[in-house]
């Protein structure tokens, strides 16, 4: 079993905290993990991506090859499409619906979302709304972990345990909110709707 | 993964390897992708669980402090990014001549592809130039093991040893199995004073020794397990040499190569993880083959050397004949192509045209206000020229600011401004950060003052080393004015301003006046980095929470 994920977003959106939860959960299940990150200049409001590779076998390199990603997990729409050449046939795109606009030429949202939804397998997640409902606008990242979770061969309980551990270290009250965010993202993405490829 | 494994960036694995090797001290200057090595050690030191670890004014002082610790008998680590070694080249090259006492290891991170750098120079050339061994890990575990071995090697050969990594490994996490730590060396300086006093007579003796020991280094490298050979079988009409991450990308595609050539029928391969190059192994590998494919991360270092090692008639293929791209990083795809494999099938998706999203100054960054004020001040002036330096504010060279016209290396903004003014430009401004000023800007200011050159230097003081993740500046902000005055800039032309939108008109006016001054002006634009403020708030909140928990 291998699962290669491209995490995409804009510097400062917390792409690495998502990677840390998924990678930690995979490690807890005894799997091999390699997680490539971006530090330095690119973090300053630019497009960033991280490569996360999970396997039950030795992982040769830190980077996912083109046409090798099982999933693109993005914090916002434009970035979800930037790395399409990495997606494996049958791979899934999971992205937050809300745009991160810090450039003057950000495209119109409606056609952009349509372009994402017309890809064979994709989920556009109303992450900000779900996070707010869960109790904190800042729980967007955990909504996205939840939305991605049903497409990753790691038990959701393992991810929940990691989330609980991460937030317990910060503030106990955050644990419940973030677990709720995770659950709502998971329910949203795994609601049984057909993908475009199947429709 | 076993239960004793720790998940580490390769940078952190180097740090842990050094601690477990009995590290006595660690020094460095922050620079992507090397920064996390020393961050890890400083965190340990601050918790009282590790030896002295500190950021230094620049890479040269860092290297020399490590060299001093080594002379005193302690094992010392020094860390920097590739271009940092240009700054530390003097102590590095000459430290190969002394009789290293406590193991001295230089952990250096190269940045092929220039993710966060101005060039992609390959540090292996420096190791070769200085005549010292170099180890290059390809995994987090190797980063740990090689760092440990590097300290042993350093004491065995009485030479500094380089551990070279590249961006993708430096910033990738995986599990590491640590081993039993070794104790620290006792304090005790090297008794052989002549071996450390590089007067010409001693230098000649030591250089002779350095040249003579090269044979021993080659014998060690030839026998090293870091340079493994995998025998070939079957019909492959080429052999392979991998170096650095080239190995990993080769192995990523090995299954497909085997499917193509037949089960078990793979080309022979040498992986080079330890330098000097194992030349005899290369000759053996190449015997009877027509073509040798070299896949190495960085410059065509092995490839060029092999051209000299092998008899003619063997084609050497790699970055010089176009089999692999000459610049930028290797990846699973370009290595796959060099292996003669077709591209993997990708999803047949057509993305709409997307806008680019380059890095930029944070919303509300004080540097933006400084650039705008200077741009306003220069408006309509003839004979203007603006230089800048290395740091977040380098992003001011991009739209919407586009103010700096030249940006080369740490400290160059001031010295280049001096040269340009003396060449004849009249209204010359140089931008430099507070940390960069302390790193290597001060000496340029000495030149400017000594010749009363008409330049305006803007020190962007955000009270932090922002680009590399918010390290503390070496000296408190207030000290910068004292340094500037101490160097001899006239007090009337040293100004401290608040680069805030509300002060925009005033600041532009002040810049206009100072630019008109026919001598050295220094304007210190002081406002705290937004990231630093955020980090402070976060840590204050954590402290409050921790106090609450104790009640």
Nearest CB partner across the interface for A88, out of B245, B347, B394: B347
Max avg pLDDT among B214-218, B348-352, B466-470: B214-218
* Residue that is written with structure tokens 């600041």 in the block: B507
Six-digit token pair at B283?
A: 């000759």
Q: What is the mean pLDDT of chain B?
A: 94
CB atoms within 10 A of CB A36: 24
Check A112 against B352: CB less than 8 A apart. Answer: yes
What are the φ/ψ torsions at residue A70 (nearest 5 degrees)? -80, -25
Q: Give percent above pLDDT 90 in chain B.
A: 84
Q: Are residues B255 and B134 in the same domain?
A: no
Asked if pLDDT for residue B460 goes beyond 50, the answer is yes
Inside any domain, residue B138: yes
Q: What is the mean pLDDT of chain A?
A: 92
Closest CA to A136 of A100, A167, A102: A167
What are the φ/ψ torsions at residue A198 (nearest 5 degrees)? -100, -15
pLDDT value at residue B551 = 40
Q: How confident is the model at residue B374 (pLDDT cuts 50, 70, 90)?
A: very high
Domain end among B223, B253, B271: B223
Max avg pLDDT among B341-345, B460-464, B512-516: B512-516
- The set of residues, in sequence order, having a beta carbon less than 8 Å from that of B291 and lying 6+ positions away, is B237, B238, B239, B314, B315, B316, B317
DSSP structure string for B290-314: SEEEEEESSSSHHHHHHHHHSPTTS
pLDDT value at residue A120 = 86
Q: What total of structural domains would you count in chain B? A: 3
CATH for B290: 3.40.50.920
Six-digit token pair at B121?
A: 């120079």
Q: Are residues B120 and B72 in the same domain?
A: yes
Asked if pLDDT for residue B448 goes beyond 60, the answer is yes
CATH for B38: 3.40.50.970
Check B359 against A115: CB less than 8 A apart. Answer: no
pLDDT value at residue A24 = 93
Inside any domain, residue B299: yes
Q: Give percent above pLDDT 70 in chain B.
A: 98
Q: Mind listing the pLDDT tens digit for each residue in B52-98?
A: 999 999 999 999 999 999 999 999 999 999 999 999 999 999 999 99
Inside any domain, residue B544: no
- Delimit the domains of chain A by residue range: 2-189
Q: Are residues B115 and B198 in the same domain?
A: yes
pLDDT value at residue B237 = 86
Domain end among B208, B223, B238: B223
Closest CA to B67 of B110, B30, B99, B37: B99
Distance (Å, rounded) from C-alpha B284 to C-alpha B286?
5
Q: Mind listing the pLDDT tens digit for each residue in B207-219?
A: 999 999 999 999 9
Q: Mind listing the pLDDT tens digit for each residue in B276-315?
A: 999 999 999 998 899 999 999 999 999 999 988 787 789 9
Q: Are residues B271 and B190 in the same domain?
A: no
Cα distance from B184 to chain A (closest Cα, Å)? 32
Domain limits at B391? 366-533
Q: Are residues B209 and B286 in the same domain?
A: no
Q: Mind listing the pLDDT tens digit for each residue in A153-174?
A: 999 999 999 999 999 988 888 9
Cα distance from A84 to chain B (closest Cα, Å)? 7
pLDDT value at residue B548 = 56
Q: Are residues B73 and B178 in the same domain?
A: yes
Closest CA to A137 of A96, A179, A168, A181: A181
Max avg pLDDT among A37-51, B140-154, B333-347: B140-154
Q: How confident is the model at residue B539 (pLDDT cuts 50, 70, 90)?
A: confident
Inside any domain, residue B542: no
Task: Give the chain B residue nearest A45 (alpha carbons).
Answer: B359
DSSP structure string for B342-374: PPPP-----PPP-------PPTT-HHHHHHHHH
Check B332 against A68: CB less than 8 A apart. Answer: yes
Residues from chain A that touch B256, judged by Cβ atoms under 8 A, are none
Asked if pLDDT for residue B235 goes beyond 70, the answer is no
Inside any domain, residue B355: no
Cα distance from B97 to chain A (closest Cα, Å)? 35
Distance (Å, rounded) from C-alpha A16 to C-alpha A9?
10
Closest CA to A63 of A72, A54, A53: A53
ipTM of the complex: 0.90
Beta carbons of B203 and A67 less than 8 angstroms apart: no
What are the φ/ψ torsions at residue B368 (nearest 5 degrees)? -60, -45
Q: Are residues B379 and B447 in the same domain?
A: yes
Distance (Å, rounded) from C-alpha B275 to C-alpha B133?
5
**How distant is the alpha carbon of residue B9 from its chain centre?**
16
Please state the CATH superfamily assignment of the domain spanning residues A2-189 in this structure.
Pyruvate-ferredoxin oxidoreductase, PFOR, domain III (3.40.920.10)
Cα distance from A194 to chain B (closest Cα, Å)? 18
Q: Are residues B187 and B316 in the same domain?
A: no
pLDDT value at residue B236 = 73
Q: How confident is the model at residue B32 (pLDDT cuts 50, 70, 90)?
A: very high
Nearest CB partner across the interface for B360, out of A46, A79, A107: A46
Inside any domain, residue B263: yes
Asked if pLDDT for residue B437 goes beyond 60, the answer is yes
Mutate which of B114, B174, B253 to disrupt the A interface (most A C-beta within 10 Å)? B174
Residues from chain B that touch A37, judged by Cβ atoms under 8 A, are 9, 171-173
Q: Mind listing the pLDDT tens digit for each residue in A36-48?
A: 988 766 667 889 9
pLDDT value at residue A199 = 55
Cα distance from A42 to chain B (closest Cα, Å)? 5
Inside any domain, residue B166: yes
Q: Are residues B217 and B258 in the same domain?
A: no
Q: Are residues B95 and B240 in the same domain?
A: no
Q: Are residues B253 and B189 in the same domain?
A: no
Residues from chain B that touch A11, judged by Cβ atoms under 8 A, are 359
Beta carbons of B479 and B492 less than 8 angstroms apart: no
- The set of residues, in sequence order, having a beta carbon less than 8 Å from that of B52 and lying 6+ positions away, is B24, B25, B26, B45
Q: Are residues B218 and B240 in the same domain?
A: no
- Give chain B's radius of gyration (CA, Å): 26
């Amino acid at each position: 079993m291998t699962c290669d994920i491209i995490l995409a977003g804009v510097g400062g959106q917390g792409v690495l905290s998502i990677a840390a939860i998924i990678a930690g959960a995979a490690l807890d299940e005894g799997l091999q993990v390699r997680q490539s990150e971006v530090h330095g200049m690119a973090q300053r409001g630019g497009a960033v991506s991280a490569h996360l590779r999970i396997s039950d076998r030795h992982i040769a390199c830190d980077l996912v090859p083109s046409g090798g990603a099982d999933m693109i997990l993005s914090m916002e729409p434009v970035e979800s499409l930037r790395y399409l050449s990495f997606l494996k046939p049958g791979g899934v795109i999971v992205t937050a619906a809300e745009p991160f606009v810090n450039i003057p030429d950000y495209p119109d949202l409606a056609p952009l979302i349509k372009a994402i939804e017309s890809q064979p397998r994709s989920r556009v997640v109303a992450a900000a709304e779900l996070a707010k409902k869960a109790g904190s606008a800042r729980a967007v990242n955990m909504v996205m972990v939840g939305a991605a979770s049903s497409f990753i061969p790691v038990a959701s309980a393992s991810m929940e345990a990691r989330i609980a551990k991460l937030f317990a270290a910060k503030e106990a009250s955050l644990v419940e909110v973030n677990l709720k965010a995770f659950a709502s993202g998971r329910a949203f993405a795994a609601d049984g709707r057909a993908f475009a490829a199947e429709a | 993964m076993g239960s004793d494994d720790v998940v580490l960036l390769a940078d952190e694995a180097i740090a842990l390897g050094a601690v477990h090797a009995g590290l006595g001290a660690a020094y460095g200057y922050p620079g992507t992708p090397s920064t996390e090595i020393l961050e890890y050690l400083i965190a340990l030191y601050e918790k009282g669980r590790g030896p002295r670890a500190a950021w230094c004014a620049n890479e040269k002082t860092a290297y020399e402090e490590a060299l001093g610790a080594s002379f005193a008998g302690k094992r010392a680590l020094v860390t920097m990014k590739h271009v940092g070694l240009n700054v530390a080249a003097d102590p590095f090259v000459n430290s190969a001549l002394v009789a290293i006492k406590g193991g001295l290891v230089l952990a250096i991170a190269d940045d092929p592809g220039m993710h966060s750098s101005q060039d992609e120079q390959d540090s292996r050339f420096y190791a070769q130039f200085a005549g010292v061994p170099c180890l290059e890990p390809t995994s987090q575990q190797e980063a740990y093991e090689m760092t440990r071995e590097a300290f042993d090697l350093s004491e065995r050969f009485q030479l500094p040893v380089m551990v070279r990594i590249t961006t993708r490994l430096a910033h990738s996490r995986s599990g590491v199995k640590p081993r039993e730590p070794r104790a620290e060396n006792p304090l005790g300086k090297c008794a052989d004073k002549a071996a450390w006093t590089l007067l010409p007579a001693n230098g000649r003796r030591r250089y002779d020794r350095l040249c003579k020991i090269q044979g021993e280094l080659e014998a060690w490298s030839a026998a090293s397990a870091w340079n493994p050979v995998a025998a070939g079988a079957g019909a492959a009409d080429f052999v392979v040499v991998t170096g650095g991450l080239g190995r990993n990308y080769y192995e990523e595609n090995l299954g497909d190569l085997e499917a193509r050539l037949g089960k078990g029928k793979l080309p022979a391969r040498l992986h080079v993880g330890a330098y000097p190059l194992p030349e005899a192994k290369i000759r053996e590998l190449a015997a009877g083959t027509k073509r040798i494919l070299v896949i190495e991360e960085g410059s065509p270092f092995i490839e060029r050397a092999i051209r000299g090692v092998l008899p003619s008639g063997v084609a050497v293929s790699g970055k010089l004949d176009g089999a692999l791209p000459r610049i930028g990083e290797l990846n699973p795809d370009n290595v796959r192509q060099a292996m003669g494999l077709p591209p993997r099938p990708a999803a047949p998706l057509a993305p709409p045209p997307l806008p680019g999203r380059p890095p930029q100054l944070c919303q509300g960054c004080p540097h933006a206000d400084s650039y705008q004020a200077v741009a306003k001040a220069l408006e309509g002036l003839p004979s203007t020229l603006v230089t800048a330096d290395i740091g977040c504010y380098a992003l001011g060279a991009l739209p919407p600011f586009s103010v700096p016209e030249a940006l080369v290396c740490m400290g160059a903004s001031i010295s280049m401004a001096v040269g340009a003014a003396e060449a004849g430009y009249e209204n010359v401004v140089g931008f430099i950060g507070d940390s960069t000023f302390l790193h290597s800007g001060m000496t340029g200011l000495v030149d400017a003052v000594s010749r009363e050159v008409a330049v305006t230097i803007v020190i962007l003081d955000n009270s932090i080393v922002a680009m590399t993740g918010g390290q503390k500046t070496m000296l408190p902000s207030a000290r910068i004015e004292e340094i500037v005055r101490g160097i001899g800039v006239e007090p009337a032309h040293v100004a401290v301003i608040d680069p805030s939108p509300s002060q925009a008109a005033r600041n532009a006016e002040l810049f206009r006046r100072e630019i008109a001054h026919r001598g050295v002006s220094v304007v210190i634009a002081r406002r705290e980095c937004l990231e630093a403020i955020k980090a402070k708030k976060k840590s204050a909140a954590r402290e409050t929470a921790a106090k609450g928990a104790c009640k």
